[in-house]
Chains A and B, each alone.
Chain A
Amino acid sequence: MSTPLLSVENLAISTIQDPRVLINDVTFEIYEGEAVGVVGESGSGKTLTALSVLGLLPRGVGVTQGSIKYNGIDLNAISSEEMRKIRGSEISMVYQDPMTALNPVMKLGKQLREVIESHEKADSSTDQRVRDALLEVGIPDVARAMESYPHEFSGGMRQRVMIAMALILSPKLLIADEPTTALDVTIQQQILALVSEERHKRNMSMLWITHDLGVVANLVDRLIVMYAGRIVESGTVKEIFTNPQHPYTYGLLSSLPTTADKDRKRLTSIAGVPQKPWLVGQSCAFAPRCFKAAPECSSTIPQLVGTLEKSVSCFHPIEANI
């Protein structure tokens, strides 16, 4: 591991008018060929983190602090023209809902061609590249698919088209925002298998956003756990799942039923609801719900400390393997 492909440092995002902090002090790296998952509940800031990398933050929301470096280029400092060149060809994205991400009134073949044409000059090979891209993601009748509109496809097939579109220019980094949440479990499994195969084949890096720990357990190398706009814990999949140290991660994992639980014991729940990031102040956002909370947790913000293998931001982390 040399220099990271993507390095996000002390990133803060907030609304522009009547400033409300949405994300604070987010720092992480993704190395070449590495897949990193971001886990969090609604409002934890996981989607904003992903969108900020692509320079696609919604109107009224902006980066207020920190840097996002891709291959040494500061993505905050470049022009929107330069960003457009990177987006789609170097870094691309798959969204949760292909029905809203695809153009409903444009044939799929044309939509894929557009991706190529927006970055390079189209030539006689363009159509063939579109066909190959669709074939690669397992679209059965490619010739017909190119002449079809999104509504003629099932949810799973639409998501395959989205993946084809994201991969067609061979990006180095793929960002996926819950692309399987709307799908049935067997179709979800097919999509996960497809993405996993493609990323290994291409040695592509990946940032996978999800609320479902089960989905990323066998898909990514490292995990980042977000809570109320901050990273509370990060580390290898093995470390996070077998040795969670932040009480939130620990609580989240023990609140899920698993097939390994033979006697169906009572689920451990986390009382209360997440705080809004902008209302947290100088304290640990999880303190009001935490069973290990102590006085310092409500007066000081804990910092994320540790290594790439395992980092935690907690004054009273859970001891290893209890």
Chain B
Amino acid sequence: MSLNIEKVEKQYKILATGTLINALNGISISLENGQTLGIVGESGCGKSTLARVISGLEKPTVGKITWEGGEIADKAKNHLRPLRSRVQLVFQDPYSSLDPRQQIGAAISEVLTVHKLVPRNQVTARVEELLSIVGLTSDLKNRYPHQLSGGQRQRVSIARALASEPDLLILDEPVSALDVSVRAEVMNLLIDLRAKYGLTYIFISHDLAMVRYVSDVIAVMYLGKIVEFGSWDQIIERPFHPYTRALIAAMPDHSIIGNPETLSKTLQGEVPDPAHLPTGCAFHARCPISVPECSIRVPLLLEISPKHYVACPEVSE
């Protein structure tokens, strides 16, 4: 096991009202080296908070995260640096994650000098190498982010993340902001890089089709909890949790066409306010198969078949 997330909780306090929000509510996942974990869920489910906690950008309120045996949180910031350089994040919008007034080359070389990764006289050569790794020509290094296309900008973000030779790359909606025809190229690049450098990925998206495409294992999140966890074919082909089933049904998929009936098979209601979580199972009010007990008992994530975990006692085949 290389990445271990143990009973992680993350609370935020709304300063104005003092209300506590449970963004993560007891998350446990372990991921082996070289695997890709897909995390799927709708806004407010805690998937981006989880990314920030795993990367060490934020500390969990409860629980711990270990990477190759070393704990990511709970360490003084300076000690975190060597570990952090091995865990890197790629954000959704490269336009806001890159400094608009910094040239591309400088954005990448900054990583190399901060982490003292290569001797000064080799920085330029390494920047050019990183650009070529992500499929960009070295003459782009003197450009500014606004002079690049969306796809090129996201490639720069990936090059920047790769600069510190990470083992684990956390990809938070990496293609969602890109035009459709450009997405496939960036996805292919990510898959090639994974094979070439033996990277471990955590791929976060609201788009189940993309998650399914890259992941070995998938976690479905709802309001700060994992409701189902399993291999990609278990989650897509044999989903158990009613929320997973609803997500799959709602996924815009052009393999089914001209059938308006498919639109009506949908969940009622909306995701509840995380500041006022429902009692029992957080999904019960929208659930098509809920029974009265669902509003009282908190479902446990149980293994229903080898390595397939579901948090719903009511569901059956």
Contacts and interface: CB of A to CB of B under 8 A. Distances in A.
A156 B268 CA distance: 12
Contact of B213 (A186, A187, A252, A267): A267
Contacts of A241: 254, 257
A1 interface: no
A99 to B, nearest CB: 14
Interface string B257-281: 1111011101110110000000000
B254 A189 contact: no
Given A187-B270, A266-B188, A255 B253 contact: no
B206 interface: yes
Query: In the complex, which range does the number of interface residues on chain B fall in?
Result: 35 or more
Interface string B237-257: 000000000111111111111
A274 B257 CA distance: 27
Interface residues of A, number: 48
B183 A217 contact: no
A209 to B, nearest CB: 14
A211 B251 contact: no
Contacts of B213: 257, 264, 267
B179 A253 contact: no
Interface string A131-158: 0000000000000000000000010110
Interface stretch (A59-67, A190-198, A304-312): A190-198
A197 B266 CA distance: 13
A193 B252 contact: no
B260 A256 contact: no
Given A217-B258, A238-B258, A269 B264 contact: no
B256 A218 contact: yes
Interface in A166-216: 184-190, 192-193, 196-197, 200, 211-215
A258 B253 contact: yes
A128 interface: no
A218 B259 contact: yes
A193 B259 CA distance: 11
Nearest to A214: B252
Given A154-B270, A193-B266, A267-B213, A185 B250 contact: yes
B11 interface: no
Contact of B257 (A237, A255, A266, A270): A237
B257 A242 contact: yes
Of listed A157, A200, A257, residue having the most chain B CB within 10 A? A257
Contact of A214 (B181, B182, B253): B253
A217 B253 contact: yes
Contacts of B267: 186, 189-190
Contacts of B160: none
A259 B181 contact: no
A238 B263 contact: no
Contacts of A251: 181
Interface string A96-134: 000000000000000000000000000000000000000
Given A41-B179, A257-B212, A270-B184, A217 B254 contact: yes
Given A156-B270, A193-B266, A258 B209 contact: yes
A57 B271 CA distance: 36
B187 interface: yes
Given A192-B263, A215-B252, A218-B263, A186 B257 contact: no
A186 to B, nearest CB: 5
A300 interface: no
A273 interface: yes
Contacts of B248: 259
B118 to A, nearest CB: 31
Given A196-B260, A219-B260, A41 B250 contact: no
B255 A269 contact: no
B291 interface: no
B179 A211 contact: yes
A22 B248 CA distance: 38
A271 interface: yes
Contact of A186 (B181, B188, B247): B247
B273 to A, nearest CB: 9
Contacts of A10: none
Contacts of B266: 186, 189-190, 193
Contacts of A256: 180, 184, 209, 254
Nearest to A220: B258
Contact of B188 (A42, A196, A269): A269
B180 A252 contact: yes
Q: Which 6 A-B pairs have the closest CB atoms?
A: A214-B252, A255-B184, A269-B184, A184-B42, A267-B184, A260-B255
Interface of B: 42-43, 149, 151, 179-185, 187-188, 191, 206, 208-210, 212-213, 236, 246-260, 262-264, 266-268, 270-271
Given A186-B42, A215-B252, A256-B184, 14 more contacts: A41-B179, A186-B267, A187-B42, A192-B263, A196-B264, A212-B252, A213-B180, A255-B180, A259-B255, A267-B184, A269-B182, A269-B184, A273-B151, A274-B179
19 contacts: A184-B42, A184-B271, A186-B42, A188-B250, A189-B249, A193-B263, A193-B264, A217-B254, A218-B259, A219-B263, A252-B181, A255-B180, A256-B254, A258-B209, A266-B188, A267-B187, A267-B188, A270-B184, A270-B185
